Amino acid sequence: MGRSAHQDEGVSMYQFKSIKTALMVKIGLLAMVPLLAITFFNVNYFKEFAISRAIHNQSLINQNISNEIHLYYFQQFHVFKGLSNMKNVYFSGNQYDQNPEEVNKKLQEKLTQIKDVTFFNHLFIIEKDGTIWAHINNNQANPLQLVGQKFKEFVPMNNFHLSEHNQFQFGSQSFSGQIGSIPLIRCNVWRQLYIVGLSELEPLSIFLEKEQRHLEKKNYNDASLLIINNRDNQIAIKNSKTQNYPQNYDWSTFKSNTPKITDPSGHYYANSIDILLGNAKYQLISILTEKDINYHANQMLKTTLIITVIALLIIALLVRLIAHIFVKPIFHIQDTLNYVAMGDLEHKLKVERIDELGQLSNSANKMIDDLNRQQKEIADYINKLISEQKRSEHLLLNILPPSIADRLKKDEKTIADQFYYSTVLFSDIVGFTKFSSTISAKELVECLNFLYTLFDDLLDKYHIEKIKTIGDALMLVSGVPKPRPDHAIEMAHMGLDMMEKMSVFNKHFGLNMKIRIGIHTGQVVAGVIGKKKFVYDLWGDTVNIASRMESHGIPGEVQLSETTYEHLKDHFNCEKRGKIDVKGKGEMTTYLLREPKANAKKKAPSRSKKPKKDPFLDKDNKPEKFNV
């Protein structure tokens, strides 16, 4: 998937094999980075938010407890007010003096009837001087003397009134209590009696327990609720299961605007509210541990991470769906282009969209149409080129032998070879020059074309190369450019067949012309000359002697040099002509070629003085090349 780092600038270092994968990865990263960044940078925010939410919950809890305590004391007032209007407590001082036990008994019965609707542990009917007329005590200890003393110090008033809290000791029991009183309205004026109640603060812990359970439901499991007496900075009421609160903290210094408290026992967050318990001022304080705060912050972080993961999964699904919607037509385009790449230009895309992909499909179809048109044009052009090439090669082969033409096409600069053994033939139509002056040019060409066509058929038969024609004269060679050991035998057959073809020519045109042929065997040099018009030609004494054999020959006969005769004597019947004077050569013995011998085989003569391999062939069976 990845690419080399040495690529051109502007090219992505990494590429994907699938657009769908690329879209999912890139969009996924684009979505993941901000989501994770938001999560990371909001860790502190979650902590602050958890603290803020905790303080808010503390404020609500404190307010709820304050309201319940206020309602509690309000109900106390109404109970005392009802008690102050008790019926059937009319009596005179004389009655009490005469029979105090009877009066106490009646008051005791009345207190017993109402004790279940009060908020006090102990109820009394006390005279202003502290004399107790009647009482109901739930404790075994006797609080009468202590309550009477406290009542006198309390200085009761003419309406409902509560004292400050005091420590009461009844035997082995000690508790923080409060005295409340209200005068009995229907009493003789000379004796003022009061309904007096002694209540403990411990029942108020019910409200703290109730709100602590609410905090636990909100996962503040180590929360503490305290009621602090402002007078001595001592804890009046507490409700803490784990004792997770500052043990030696001076609560008089606490300020709600700085809720964090650092203590040797740990870090806490507190919130307070002032409350009245009767006429006394207290602080209601709710305390949460940093552990609980961190738990809520972590929960928010986990929730955010879960939401982030879910969001990423939803984004991945949406990206996959979108990628599929976009990639599907691209796959169709890819399949069609694959067909085009394999040469099938009949496939076209079905365009059903008007967006960029639809435009791409239209462009692909246009490209296919253009390729079809260009393919036809190229095919026509190639056919023309092939036709021209064949024509050029055909023309080249008419001028040059195939092997020489191949070497020329390979851009071989100089083509020149030496052949040690070859047979050259020259021919000439006797009297044709005089005859040509008696006919038209068209007739002349028709005659020569007819005759040379007959000769050309023989060339392929005997593997002979036509070197050139000069008018009615013809020059042929065997064993060049492809060496062959039977070059003389093939040329002899060629000469005899040319005589027969001449008879066909005469019969066709009603003429009586004769052809004169001369043959010589020897070494030649063959090569290509010319720059624009190529000519494959032969040079050497062999060519000259072959020409002399023709020019000094007899019309209607094939004249052989003595060298050629040596190659043919085992295969053909020959007639010795004798010695003739040859221009430039002097006297030479020549022979006239006759029919092939009956038992002769078409093969090269054996020469005992020569090596088994003919000397005109090199080690690769190829002619020797000149170093030009």
DSSP classification of residue 379: H
The 10s digit of each residue's pLDDT in 56-89 is 887 888 888 888 888 877 777 777 776 666 554 5
Q: Quick one: tokens of 194?
A: 């009061």
How confident is residue 589, by pLDDT bands cut at 50, 70 and 90? very high
Closest CA to 101 of 129, 134, 128: 134
pLDDT above 70 (res 195) = yes
> Which is more confidently placed, 371 or 626?
371
Could you give the CA distance from residue 399 to residue 419 in angstroms, rounded to a whole number?
A: 20
Residue percentage of the chain with pLDDT more than 70: 71
Phi then psi for residue 14, to 5 deg, are -120, 135
pLDDT greater at residue 40 or residue 379:
379
Question: pLDDT by residue (tens digit) across 85-127?
Answer: 655 454 544 555 556 666 667 666 666 666 554 556 677 777 7
Residue 525 has pLDDT above 90, yes or no: yes
Q: Which of 272-276, 330-334, 415-419 has the lowest mean pLDDT?
A: 330-334
Question: Which pLDDT does position 153 carry in this prediction?
Answer: 62
Distance from the Cα of residue 608 to its chain's centroid? 82
The Cβ of residue 551 has, within 10 Å, a number of other Cβ atoms equal to 15
Per-residue pLDDT at 398 exceeds 90: no
- Residue 606: band (very low, low, confident or very high) from pLDDT cuts 50, 70, 90: very low
Q: Rounded mean pLDDT of 145-158?
A: 60
Pairing state between β 558-561 and 514-529: parallel
Instruction: Identify any residues that bridge with 536 across adjacent strands, giving them in sequence order.
Output: 528
499: pLDDT strictly greater than 90: yes
The span from the CA of 255 to the CA of 272, in Å, is: 8
Supply the DSSP symbol for 165. P
Q: Is residue 16 over pLDDT 70? A: no
pLDDT tens by residue, 430-442: 988 888 889 899 9
In whole angstroms, what separates CA 465 from the centre of its chain?
68
130: left (phi over 0), alpha (psi -120 to 50) or beta: left
In the numeric block, which tokens belong to residue 529?
Answer: 């000359």
Task: Specify whether the backbone of 586 is left (phi greater than 0), alpha (psi in -120 to 50) or beta.
Answer: left
Please tell me whether residue 2 adopts helix, strand or coil conformation: strand
Q: Which two tokens stand for residue 321?
A: 């769906």
CA distance 572 to 215: 135
Q: Name 535's bridge partners.
A: 529
- Going by C-alpha positions, the residue among 564, 225, 57 that lies closest to residue 49 is 57
C-alpha distances out from residue 123 to 36, 107, 109, 525, Å: 67, 11, 12, 157
39 pLDDT higher than 90: no
DSSP lists the bridge partners of residue 57 as: none
Q: How confident is the model at residue 240 (pLDDT cuts 50, 70, 90)?
A: low
pLDDT at 449 over 50: yes
How far is 155 from 583, CA to CA, in rounded Å? Answer: 181
In sequence order, which residues have a C-beta less than 8 Å from that of residue 494 and are 6 or more positions away?
Answer: 425, 458, 459, 462, 464, 476, 478
Q: Mind listing the pLDDT tens digit for each residue in 560-586? A: 999 999 999 999 999 999 999 988 889
∠170-173-176 over CA atoms, to 5°? 85
Pick the range with the lowest mean pLDDT from 33-42, 437-446, 580-589: 33-42
Contacts of 488 by beta carbon, 8 Å cutoff, 6+ apart = 423, 478, 519, 521, 564, 567, 568, 604
- Residue 63 tokens read as 């307010």
Q: For residue 626, what is the DSSP state?
A: P
Q: How confident is the model at residue 523 (pLDDT cuts 50, 70, 90)?
A: very high
Q: Is the pLDDT of residue 244 over 50?
A: yes
Write the burial class of residue 475 (CB in 10 Å: 0-12 exposed, 13-18 middle, 19+ buried): buried
**What is the C-alpha separation between 580 and 588, in angstroms, rounded?**
5
* Average pLDDT over the chain, rounded to an integer: 76
Largest CA distance in the chain: 207
pLDDT at residue 241 greater than cutoff 70: no
For the segment 264-293, the average pLDDT, to the nearest whole number, is 80
Adjacent-strand bridge partners of 419? 524
pLDDT band, residue 514 (cuts 50/70/90): very high
Q: How confident is the model at residue 316 (pLDDT cuts 50, 70, 90)?
A: confident
Read off the pLDDT band of 494 (50, 70, 90). very high
| pLDDT reading at 591 higher than 90 | yes
Query: Could you give the 3-state DSSP secondary structure of residue 588?
Result: strand
Split at pLDDT 50, 70, 90, the class of 516 is very high
Give pLDDT, residue 6. 44
Is the pLDDT score of 309 beyond 70?
yes
In the block, which residue shows the tokens 């006759």? 594
- Least reliable range by pLDDT among 95-104, 398-407, 420-429, 444-453: 95-104
What span, in angstroms and rounded, lies between the C-alpha atoms of 216 and 289? Answer: 13
High-pLDDT (> 90) share of the chain, %: 19
